[in-house]
Amino acid sequence: MLGEIIAIGNELTSGRIVNTTSGFAAHHLFKAGFDIYAMHTIGDTPSLIGEALIRALGRVDFVLVTGGLGPTDDDLTAEAVSEALNRPTMPNLELLYQIREHLNSYAEPPVNSLEKLAWLPQGAEMLNPESNMAGFQLIHDNKPIFFLPGIPHQMQTLLVDQVLPRLSTWYKDRQLASVQRVYKIFGKSETAINQEVEDLTLGNRVEIGYYPVFPDVHLSLTVRGRNTDSVQKIFAATCGRVEEKLGLSIYGRDQETLESVVGALLLQNKKQLSVAESCTGGLISHLLTSVAGSSSYYLGGITSYANSMKTAFLGVNDTLLQKYGAVSPEVAEAMAAGMRQRSGADISLSVTGIAGPDGGSKEKPVGTVFLAMAADREVRVHRFLFSGTRYEIQRLTAQTALDLLRRYLLR
Amino acid sequence: MLGEIIAIGNELTSGRIVNTTSGFAAHHLFKAGFDIYAMHTIGDTPSLIGEALIRALGRVDFVLVTGGLGPTDDDLTAEAVSEALNRPTMPNLELLYQIREHLNSYAEPPVNSLEKLAWLPQGAEMLNPESNMAGFQLIHDNKPIFFLPGIPHQMQTLLVDQVLPRLSTWYKDRQLASVQRVYKIFGKSETAINQEVEDLTLGNRVEIGYYPVFPDVHLSLTVRGRNTDSVQKIFAATCGRVEEKLGLSIYGRDQETLESVVGALLLQNKKQLSVAESCTGGLISHLLTSVAGSSSYYLGGITSYANSMKTAFLGVNDTLLQKYGAVSPEVAEAMAAGMRQRSGADISLSVTGIAGPDGGSKEKPVGTVFLAMAADREVRVHRFLFSGTRYEIQRLTAQTALDLLRRYLLR
């Protein structure tokens, strides 16, 4: 089962925006048992759009087209497809009425081109008429073609919720059984993981992939074949061996994030957390609160960027700051202890360091970070030296803090 | 001057790795005055590589091929090109001796295929023989073809240092002058901006693009032509008209972010900021501190997720919380006022709302947000109703808070 992906947009061919949607689609299609023959990125040029589509239809089983579905003048996909496949555009009446109703809700209806969204090539079927997302399907020469918006989150939602199930139904008998799992690992290099895993002699039916996805490494295991039972059996055995070998280094799998795993552990252990951040500037708090329901275990945090904030809000002693400096194990300890006492949390994390690009010294170069955790009856301080850009140092610090907490909760 | 980019690798077509190198190349080529007709991503399949290359040579002026140049079995670009262009591979002797010398430096030479790197299609010229990076150039049918490694930093270095100057020299007389600017806009839809800008009758020499890049819309203006002076003149006039029309709606341009713009304004106005966040969970603080040097205007912030944190750290009255609820204009006001008083900042922002997916009610549905700003002698509260996922609501809230601050600082 082969497909091609065509991404449309001058913003892509001019390099203003990096095309991430094609890779996302390829990844999910591959996991679902479909192979991608080629991916193309072309500008908003009707003749090129038509040419790429027609060539793809001549050699693969399905085509995914993204971009160019919006209401503005440079959105030309529907017209191009109409022309290339000889299917005149016609109004989708339901959609047209919906748009008119929306326009009528304005006191002064905007003079705009929204109605254009309802004009689709003959035979087009909206992918999700309930939503307000553009996106339609055409069956041409008995092959499905999917047209999705270029906006990443819309494209991703429609791909997963609409395209994958429709494609699987259409090509039910020709699809290979396929299982894949991604293990997420923090704190080990790609090469180190490779060495540990290759010894497992996994057999040649298992595809292993290692890819660094900053700040983690993802390890993917894929098994594909005609026989669902044997695919499942090989997959389960392989996963078991990999999990045994890598143990605690694996923090999660597939859609899990370190913050969602830590959240679940806090909930399980009935512990409440608070955080005092300096060099990470709120990033740890932001990661924790990106998880729905985090208010049940996360009390909150402080970004004590200025020394005056450390004193006023955390009770860090001024003489401590003078004597050891804000970036010191002593101040990290006082921040975590002060945070725990004042917030009433069971566990408090604190972070102080130099994210750069300026502010480093010989004794404490850029990337120096002190991490403290106050839990039970003690405060433990750890020293790290990270390297990278400002963002990378902040992100590595946040991930290290969350991973320390995860390992503590798993003791 | 048209080119095509062909990226090679099964890791790309399976979506395991997102292709960022093609976008990088397109961006730099476009800036240098070269247009990209199409970009293709294909697997490590010799026949496909040859087919894509030959088709590209038939319609554009140059081709850039990335990936498949390494020493492992799945690196097949050189063989595929040799076959497709009928240029037998021959050893590059200088490179071959270099590799042999390298291999001899091992006590036990590794059993590997490094020598393969020296076998190139007839006529190939190494791009940078001084370095240890693969990468060569072929002139075929009087058109340059560049072959670069797929490893992003090597590809980027060779593109900038070798490909761009070689291409400019080769096509000196045919290169167009080109200028582009991207305006960043928050709080207006793509359609609304389109309407305002299309009235300006900009003339057909200006390409306009509208791109939603959540939570912003980017508006790009591009002018290209033979005559550098006239290109510059048209560009300046157009930018002037667009800036006049959109006014304060434009918060920045090109590489600027809302947080970098706000930071520069705080610095200019010699104002210090602190932030009290509830539903944004540290995101505003994280955005502010992602800017290098932010410690000179940002004191810090509090994520008062739990009510107890609002009371303990911001002095929000318990009866206020009981009477109006945590998500209320009264609490937003008390948070901003408390934050300003306790941090000693000139300006304090506060945010309280319901990011969802749970926690909404009829009077205060998910997406309800109160934003307050304490500055000068007053605290102003604003109410918003955002829609979207949890992350989208958090991100829209953060951007709205920063934009309120920007407009305040520009009064």
H or E, element range at B341:
helix B329-343
Identify the top-confidence range among A28-32, A202-206, B118-122, B349-353: B349-353
pLDDT for B203 beyond 70: no
Task: Give me the pLDDT at residue B110, please.
Answer: 54
Among residues of chain A, what percentage have pLDDT more than 70? 97
The residue length of chain B stands at 411
Q: What is the mean pLDDT of residues B116-134?
A: 87
What is the rounded distance in angstroms from the CA atom of residue A405 to the CA atom of residue A336? 13
Q: How many CB pairs under 8 A join A and B?
A: 281
Within 8 A of B393 by CB-CB distance, chain A residues are none
Rounded CA-CA distance A295/A275 in Å is 13
What is d(CA B290, CA A7) in angstroms, rounded to the nearest whole number? 31
**In this structure, what token pair is assigned to residue B370?**
């109160």
Which pLDDT score is estimated for A308? 95
Task: Report CA dihedral (A162, A168, A169, A171) to the nearest 10 degrees.
Answer: 130
- Of A48-57, A308-317, A323-332, B106-115, which range is least confident? B106-115
Q: Give the mean pLDDT of A314-318.
A: 96
* Alpha-carbon gap: A44 to the closest alpha carbon of chain B (Å): 10
Please give the full DSSP string across B172-192, using - where no structure is assigned.
GGGPPEEEEEEEEE-SS-HHH
Chain B contact probe: residue of A4, A17, A280 with most B CBs at under 10 A: A17
Which helix or strand (DSSP H or E) is residue A95 part of? helix A93-104
In order of their start, the domains of chain A are: 2-174 (3.40.980.10), 177-253 (3.30.70.2860), 262-409 (3.90.950.20)
Q: Best interface-test mutation with B: which of A72, A117, A132 has the largest number of B CBs within 10 A?
A: A72
For residue B239, give both structure tokens: 């930018």
Tell me how close the Cα of A295 comes to any Cα of chain B, in angstroms: 7
pLDDT at A236 over 80: yes
Which residue on chain A is closest to B47 by alpha carbon?
A37
Q: What is the pLDDT of residue B109?
A: 58
In sign, the C-alpha dihedral spanning B394, B397, B399, B402 is negative
What are B215-267's pLDDT values in tens digits?
Answer: 999 998 988 888 889 999 999 999 999 999 999 999 999 889 999 999 999 99
A256-270, B42-56, B121-135 — most confident range: A256-270
Those residues with Cβ within 8 angstroms of residue A13's Cβ, 6 or more apart along the chain or in another chain? A41, A42, A43, B26, B30, B35, B36, B37, B38, B39
Record: contact B23-A12, CB cut-off 8 A: yes
Q: Of B42, B190, B306, which has the smallest distance from its Cβ to A72's Cβ?
A: B190
Q: Which of B5, B8, B12, B39 to mutate to test the interface with A (most CBs of A within 10 A)?
A: B39
Give the pLDDT band of residue A282 (cuts 50, 70, 90). very high
CA atoms of B204 and B327, how far apart (whole Å)? 50
Six token digits for residue A58: 């001549």
In 3-state terms, chain A is what percent helix, strand and coil (to 5)? 45, 25, 30
How far is Cα A112 from Cα A119, in angstroms, rounded to an integer? 15
The per-residue pLDDT for B284 is: 98
Q: What sign for the dihedral angle of Cα A408, B358, B280, B342?
A: negative
Q: Can the peptide bond before residue B71 be classed as cis, meaning omega within 30 degrees of 0?
A: no
Q: Which of A361-375, B115-129, B224-238 has the highest mean pLDDT?
A: A361-375
A17 and B211 within 8 Å at the Cβ level: the answer is yes
The pair of structure tokens assigned to A337 is 């202890």
Mean pLDDT of A353-381: 95
Neighbours of B324 (CB within 10 A): 14
Within 8 A of A27 by CB-CB distance, chain B residues are 14-16
Work out the pLDDT band at A107, boundaries 50, 70, 90. Answer: low
Compute the distance between CA of residue A169 and CA of residue A156 in angstroms, rounded to an integer. Answer: 19
> Closest approach of chain A CAs to the CA of B285, in angstroms?
5
Beta strands in B344-406 (DSSP E): 347-353, 368-375, 378-385
**Min distance B282 CA to chain A CA atoms (Å):** 5
Task: Quick: pLDDT tens for A115-152.
Answer: 888 889 999 999 988 877 889 999 999 999 999 999 99
Contacts of B236 (CB under 8 A, 6+ apart): none
- The 3-class secondary structure across A173-220, one letter per residue, is HHCCEEEEEEEEECCCCHHHHHHHHHCCCCCCCEEEEEEEECCEEEEE
Interval B75-87: pLDDT, tens: 889 999 999 999 9
Which of B214, B282, B300 has its CB closest to that of A306?
B300
A155-171: per-residue pLDDT in tens? Answer: 999 999 999 999 988 88
Q: Express each pLDDT in B14-40 by its tens digit.
A: 887 888 899 999 999 988 889 999 999
- Residues of A in Cβ contact (< 8 Å) with B308: 299, 343-344
Count other Cβ atoms within 10 Å, centred on residue A242: 21
Axis-axis angle for helices A329-343, A307-314 (nearest 10): 40
Torsion of CA B351, B352, B358, B361, to 10 degrees: -130
Which residue among B190, B300, B389 sits closest to A303, beta carbon to beta carbon?
Answer: B300
Higher pLDDT pick, B279 / B209 = B279
CB < 8 Å to A15, chain B? 23-30, 36
Contacts of A162 (CB under 8 A, 6+ apart): A127, A128, A135, A137, A146
pLDDT at A213 over 90: no
Contact B11 A209 (CB under 8 A): yes
Res B112: pLDDT: 53
Mean pLDDT of all residues in chain B?
Answer: 91
pLDDT digits (tens, 9 = 90+) for B290-326: 999 999 999 999 999 999 999 999 999 999 999 999 9
Would you give the distance in Å from CA A337 to the centre of its chain?
A: 34
Asked if pLDDT for residue A396 goes beyond 90, the answer is yes
SS3 A305: coil
CB contact (8 A) between residue A29 and residue B15: yes
Residue B296 is given by DSSP the state G
Task: Encode pLDDT of A43-99 as tens digits.
Answer: 988 998 999 999 999 999 999 999 999 888 788 899 999 999 999 988 888 888 888
**Nearest chain A Cα to B283, which residue?**
A286
DSSP-derived pairing of the beta strands A378-385 and A177-185: unpaired
What's the mean pLDDT when you consider all of chain A?
A: 91
Least confident of A256-270, B107-121, B365-379: B107-121
Q: Which residues of B touch A289 (CB under 8 A)?
A: 280-283, 303, 305, 394
- In angstroms, the separation between the Cα of residue A86 and the nearest Cα of chain B is 23
Is the predicted pLDDT of residue B175 greater than 90, yes or no? no
Which residue in the set B13, B29, B289 is minimally distant from A282, CB to CB?
B289
From A232-236, B300-304, B345-349, the region with the lowest mean pLDDT: A232-236
- Enter the tokens of residue A294: 């985090």
Tell me the one-letter amino acid at B401: A
pLDDT computed for residue A270 by the predictor: 97
- The reported pLDDT for the residue numbered A370 is 98
Q: Which band of pLDDT confidence, cut at 50, 70 and 90, is reported for residue A219? A: confident
Most A CBs within 10 A among B199, B309, B341, B349, hence the mutation to make, goes to: B309
Residue A184 pLDDT level (bands cut at 50, 70, 90) = very high
> Which strands sit side by side in the sheet containing B216-225, from one edge to the other?
B206-213, B216-225, B177-185, B250-253
Does the structure's ipTM exceed the value 0.85? no
What percentage of chain B has pLDDT greater than the value 90?
Answer: 66
Question: Are A281 and B274 a contacting pair, CB within 8 Å?
Answer: no
Q: Mutating which of B1, B11, B18, B160 best tests the A interface, going by the most A Cβ atoms within 10 A?
A: B18
Residue of B nearest to A313 (CA): B313
B contacts of A8 (beta carbons < 8 Å): none
- Give the separation between CA A97 and CA A302, rounded to whole angstroms: 50
How many angstroms separate the CA atoms of A387 and A365, rounded? 10
- Residues A383 and A368: their CA atoms lie apart, in Å, by 7
Total-model pTM: 0.78
Per-residue pLDDT, A203: 64
Which stretches does DSSP call E strand in A9-142? 35-42, 62-66, 89-91, 119-121, 125-126, 136-140
Query: Quick check: helix, strand or coil at residue B159?
Result: helix
Interface test with A, best of B286, B343, B396 (most A CBs within 10 A): B286
% of chain B surpassing 70 pLDDT: 97
Nearest chain B residue (CA) to A2: B13
Could you tell me which of B266, B283, B246, B255 has the C-alpha nearest to residue B398?
A: B283
Q: Which residues from chain A sit within 8 angstroms of residue B343, using beta carbons?
A: 308-309, 312-313
pLDDT of B288 reads 98
Q: In this predicted structure, what is the pLDDT of residue B356?
A: 92
Tell me the three state secondary structure of residue B305: coil
Give the separation between CA A15 and CA A18, rounded to whole angstroms.
6
pLDDT at B180: 85
pLDDT at A192: 81
- A 10 A CB-CB count for A18 gives 18
Listing DSSP states for A344-381 in one string gives T-SEEEEEEE--SSS---SSS-TTEEEEEEEETTEEEE
Strands B273-277 and B298-304: parallel
Helices within B114-198 (DSSP H only)? 152-158, 164-170, 190-198
Answer yes or no: do A303 and B302 touch at CB < 8 A. yes
Residues B30, A15: C-beta atoms closer than 8 Å: yes
Nearest to B303 among A27, A285, A358 (CB): A285
Q: Please give the biggest Cα pair distance in chain A.
A: 80
Give the closest-approach CA distance of A307 to chain B in angstroms: 8
CA-based end-to-end distance of chain B: 46
- Name the residue facing B191 among A25, A114, A277 (closest C-beta): A114
